[in-house]
Amino acid sequence: MSSSPRDVKIGGLASTRLQPDLPAESLLSDLVPFASPYEADPELKTFLHRTANLLCDWIGGAASGQPLPTVWAQPDATPGPQGADVDVLLSDLQSLMEGAFQPSHPGSLAHLDPPPLTASIAADLIAAGLNNNLLAEELSPSLTLLEQQLVRWFCDRLGLPGSAGGALTSGGTLSNLMALVVARDRLSDASGVVLCSEDAHVSLSKAMRVMGLGGPALIRIPVDANGSLCLTQAEECLSRLQRQGRQCLCVVATAGTTVRGAVDPIPALASLCRRFDIWLHVDAAIGGVFALSQQTADLVPGLGEADSITINPQKLLGITKASSMLLVREANQLHDTFSTGLPYMDDASAGYHGGEIGLQGTRPAEVLKLWFGLRQLGVPGITRVLSSALERASTFKQRLDLDRLVCQPGSLHLVAFHPSSRVSRDGSSWTLALRQALMQEGFMLSRPLYAGCHHLKSVWGNPHTTVAHIDHLAHCINRFER
Ligand SMILES: *Cc1c(COP(=O)(O)O)cnc(C)c1O
């Protein structure tokens, strides 16, 4: 190397900056398309511009299409004998996009998958370009710090104490699993049961399996008419377990159940858990975000009393997938449970690396799209997203003909209903036929099996759905005959 190197300080390590005018000769440069480190690569720019245009067209054309595509040309899945040029790649990409679910369609109301925020889309792209790794501080210095800072903000907003901490994870399933593993870790005996409501999320069953605890160890307590876990039954169950000398390793409260958006009585469950000295995990994958705004925080009271909380910003706020987080009351519990030491890394300034506080090793910088999206919204924007979702849900509920339909009460932005027995004795085929009829009108609802009968479920987190859409949808439902 002929040039004179210049030292730059990065996080205590002295590194050498190469002169930008070194010859761009590389063994691979002509063969494999990696962007030049010596100039703003024109090929990369073209590629990004053209793919960005495709994406803008796809989102911009959402309202004139359907939420779910019916025909598209699936491109080749495997690498060909030769690398594809940009025109082929983009044409393949376009075909694939034509077969994608369209969350930005105003009639996309089926699931907890809203359209993505502009800043979150861009941040996901940047995260890919940075290609940093949250496994270790030296692979993601600023992003590791950002994750710690943002987790701190979430802990404060949700009312957890100063000792709290957490980690971003690739989904609520993983957050819930990690919570149960941490809860079990503080007990001397690795067996035991977990209590949750009968409407709790399926990811808990999966977690039990992974932990080797088996299905019967997940005790499902009935819910009341509002879909909330029945407190007296939970108390009876805990007393019974105590008399039998059986260990309960965790009670899981749900803040926002998946079909009807019901919220369990968290403050009362917290005092029950304190009395029995049992870990309280709150699965707030859906409802947790409502605690971020003072205007809606009353919908999910008591989160700050939990030992751990799952929260999924991907489900309502428009943060691109995956965006979930596990928060714990005592930050060091994550490290105690998951750290193995990282012998191939230097020490981290926070005392641990991002790969030592959870199940994942290599982690993408999912914090970037969360941070950027939340910054774009600001606190008032967050409030608008939350309260407008609630408004749309309540407008829709008001429009439904309750002489013909049975609506399942819940307190968030989900509305699930089924036909009354006067309208149909066969709810299964009625909901199936209505779902198909609504699809023809550009509305996508889902059809969950809940409490033994098929429902239609609508989720009101789509900011593009207007009152006119709601009117039309309710009209189609109220008039539906088969
Ligand atoms: C969606 C959901 C989960 C699982 O989250 P994923 O990100 O899909 O893994 C857990 N609990 C509840 C209540 C949910 O609605």
Task: Report pLDDT digits (tens) over 189-245.
Answer: 888 999 999 999 999 999 999 999 988 999 999 999 999 999 999 999 999 999 999
Tell me, what's the pLDDT at 115?
A: 98
Please state the domain extents for the chain: 40-98, 127-376, 386-478
Q: Which of 168, 175, 283 to mutate to test the pocket of ligand 1 (most atoms within 8 A of CB)?
A: 283
Q: Is the CB of 173 under 6 A from ligand 1?
A: yes
* Torsion angles phi and psi, residue 333, rounded to 5: -65, -35
Tell me, what's the pLDDT at 17?
A: 57
Compute the average pLDDT of residues 131-142.
96
Torsion 147-149-151-154 (CA) sign: negative
Q: How far apart are CA 414 and CA 466, in angstroms?
A: 16
Which tens digit of pLDDT belongs to each residue from 18-27?
555 555 555 5
Q: Is the CB of 264 under 6 A from ligand 1?
A: no
Give yes or no for residue 30 having a pLDDT over 70: no
Q: How far apart are CA 407 and CA 414, in angstroms?
A: 11
Q: Is the CB of 286 under 6 A from ligand 1?
A: yes
> Is residue 285 within 8 Å of 311, Cβ to Cβ?
yes
**Token pair belonging to 168:** 């971003």
Which tens digit of pLDDT belongs to each residue from 114-127?
999 999 999 999 99
Q: Is the CB of 167 under 6 A from ligand 1?
A: no
**CA 434 to centroid of ligand 1, rounded, Å:** 26
The ligand 1 atom at the shortest distance from the C-alpha of residue 176 is: 10
CATH of domain 386-478: 3.90.1150.170
Compute the average pLDDT of residues 70-94.
96
The ligand 1 atom at the shortest distance from the C-alpha of residue 254 is: 13
**CA 229 to centroid of ligand 1, rounded, Å:** 18
Q: Which of 174, 196, 203 to mutate to test the pocket of ligand 1 (most atoms within 8 A of CB)?
A: 203
Q: Is the CB of 203 under 6 A from ligand 1?
A: yes
Which region among 47-56, 79-88, 225-234, 345-354 has the lowest average model confidence (pLDDT)?
345-354
**CA 173 to centroid of ligand 1, rounded, Å:** 6
Compute the average pLDDT of residues 284-307.
98
Task: Pick the more confident residue, 30 or 466.
Answer: 466
Which architecture characterizes domain 127-376 according to CATH?
Answer: 3-Layer(aba) Sandwich (3.40)
Residue minimizing CA distance to atom 3 of ligand 1: 172
Q: Is the CB of 410 under 6 A from ligand 1?
A: no
Compute the average pLDDT of residues 51-64.
98
* Beta carbons within 8 Å of 338's beta carbon, 6+ residues apart: 178, 181, 356, 357, 358, 359
Task: Pick the more confident residue, 376 or 351.
Answer: 376
The ligand 1 atom at the shortest distance from the C-alpha of residue 312 is: 7
Fill in the amino acid letter for 283.
D
Q: Percent of the chain having pLDDT more than 90? A: 89
Tell me, what's the pLDDT at 352?
A: 86
The ligand 1 atom at the shortest distance from the C-alpha of residue 321 is: 7
Q: How far apart are CA 472 and CA 460, in angstroms?
A: 15
The ligand 1 atom at the shortest distance from the C-alpha of residue 200 is: 13
**Token pair belonging to 272:** 């029950």
Q: How far apart are CA 283 and CA 264, in angstroms?
A: 10
DSSP 400: S
Tell me, what's the pLDDT at 215?
A: 87
**Distance set, CA 366 to CA 104, 128, 134, 353, 354 (Å):** 21, 10, 9, 16, 12
Q: Are strands 308-311 and 324-328 parallel, antiparallel or unpaired?
A: antiparallel
For the chain, state the CA radius of gyration: 25
Tell me, what's the pLDDT at 347?
A: 87
**CA 386 to centroid of ligand 1, rounded, Å:** 18
Rounded to the nearest 10°, the torsion over CA 149, 155, 157, 159 is: -150
